[in-house]
Amino acid sequence: MVWSMKKYAFDLIFIFTFISLTLSSPAAADETQPATLRSFGQEFIQLVKNVERSAVAVDARMGVEQGNSSEPAIEMTNSGAGFILDSNRIVVKQKVVSGSDQIDITLYDKSRQRARIVGSDDDLGLAYLAIDAPIDPSYRPRMLNDPARIATGEPVLIISNSLGIMPAASFGIVNCTRSDGMIQLSADLPAGTSGGGVFNFSGELIGLVALQIDFFPDELPYSSDLLASETVLVTPIRNVRRSMTRALAQAKKRSVYFGVMVDDWPSHLGGAHIKRVYNGSPAESSGIKTGDIILSTDNRKVANAYDLYQIVSAHSPGDNVTLQILRGDEIFPCTVKLTPPPENVARIDKEVITSGGNVLQRESKKIDNDYLNRRLQKLEVEIKILKEMMTNR
């Protein structure tokens, strides 16, 4: 089966390459070529069906408060593709879930579950999610952990979430395994393919799309004689699994539970404002109340909510943290004994500490013009693609 699929893939490439010659040649009457294409198409479709169950749709919701409290919050949702790594963990591009307030995944059987971030790798740009319910073992992909088995010229399938279409299937060819360990492909991929899973024709997950390199500007006219081609770099799945092991170990080592939701306190005193105290948390046990202002921690001034996060996250479970609290007109000391996070609590995210059970929640996020311009540019590209799709129907 594997050999035959590779043979069909290469036949397909040669047919596309020399199609102008074959159409003007008596060889065009050869009935074996249409049969070869049909067979390749059927096997490619079957391959998609075989591996798509290991992909999940990830929707990360962000509700961003405005500076003026009378203005409604702007809610945004990022969508991407995640891939199952084990019984309850999933890998996704970090940019899809970073700063999110709520993460939901949709499995192959259309069931929807709440997910939480349990680790991340800034170097690879990946985040690792966990869900409470175990994932059907038949959904887990077979993984190719030996990069030496990846051959130059090998055809591959890329599964992604493109503009909400899941699974979006693409075809590529392996150029080489680079000296830096990355896998290089030639592939024409749709928008939203970053983080997509790359499968060989044996149905094994070989890696995740890291980035696409386009050597031509976006405004290249369609009538140009130049052909814009994209090179795709793929992170081997072996590297992804090693990264997850490191990220989970680091998160377990550093995770502590404080148990408050905070935002910045807009005054010359600085401080972190307690918006919520979680039931049964160390903060509640120490007498901290909603509305309190934390002015200092461990004799260090707390300028804002993120300062509080940095100081607290440097501690370990069992440590005592000494605070100076402002309540009304009274300033008094308070000691909080940190504990390990409960089972349903994800590790502290170093950028935004969300309310999904994490130690702190920083709600000082504001929308600035640069952020809105980036979102607008992305939407304009997606609208352009959708218009082209409608025109070509």
**Distance between alpha carbon 20 and the CA centroid of its chain, in Å?**
42
- Indicate the residue type of 376: L
For 279, the token pair is 């039931």
Q: Mean of the per-residue pLDDT values for the chain?
A: 76
- Per-residue pLDDT of 252-284, as tens digits, reads 666 778 888 888 777 666 788 888 888 888 999
- pLDDT above 70 coverage of the chain, percent: 73
Q: DSSP code of 148? A: G
The pTM of the full predicted model, rounded to 2 decimals, is 0.60
Q: How far apart are CA 62 and CA 98, in angstroms?
A: 9
Task: Read off the pLDDT of each residue in 378-387 and give the average, rounded to a whole number.
Answer: 74
SS3 label, residue 4 = helix
Rg, the chain, Cα only? 26
CATH of domain 255-337: 2.30.42.10
Q: DSSP code of 201? A: T
pLDDT at 154: 92
Other Cβ atoms within 10 Å of 315 Cβ, number: 17
pLDDT at 220: 45
pLDDT at 254: 60
Contacts 24+ apart (CB under 8 A), 265-271: 265/293, 265/304, 269/293, 269/295, 269/326, 270/295, 270/301, 270/302, 270/303, 270/304, 270/307, 271/295, 271/302, 271/303, 271/304, 271/326
Q: Which residues of 101-134 are buried (b: 16+ CB within 10 A; e: fewer)?
A: bbbbbbbbeeeebebbbbbbbeebbbbbbbbeee
- Per-residue pLDDT of 119-139, as tens digits, reads 888 889 899 999 888 999 999
Q: How far apart are CA 17 and CA 138, in angstroms?
A: 38
Q: Which residues of 159-181 are buried (b: 16+ CB within 10 A; e: fewer)?
A: bbbbeeebbbbbbbbbbebeeee
φ, ψ for residue 95, nearest 5 deg: -65, -20
pLDDT-based confidence at residue 55 (cuts at 50, 70, 90): very high
Q: Which of 46, 79, 82, 230 is nearest to 159 (CA)?
A: 82
CATH of domain 1-253: 2.40.10.120
Question: Domain extents for the chain?
Answer: 1-253, 255-337
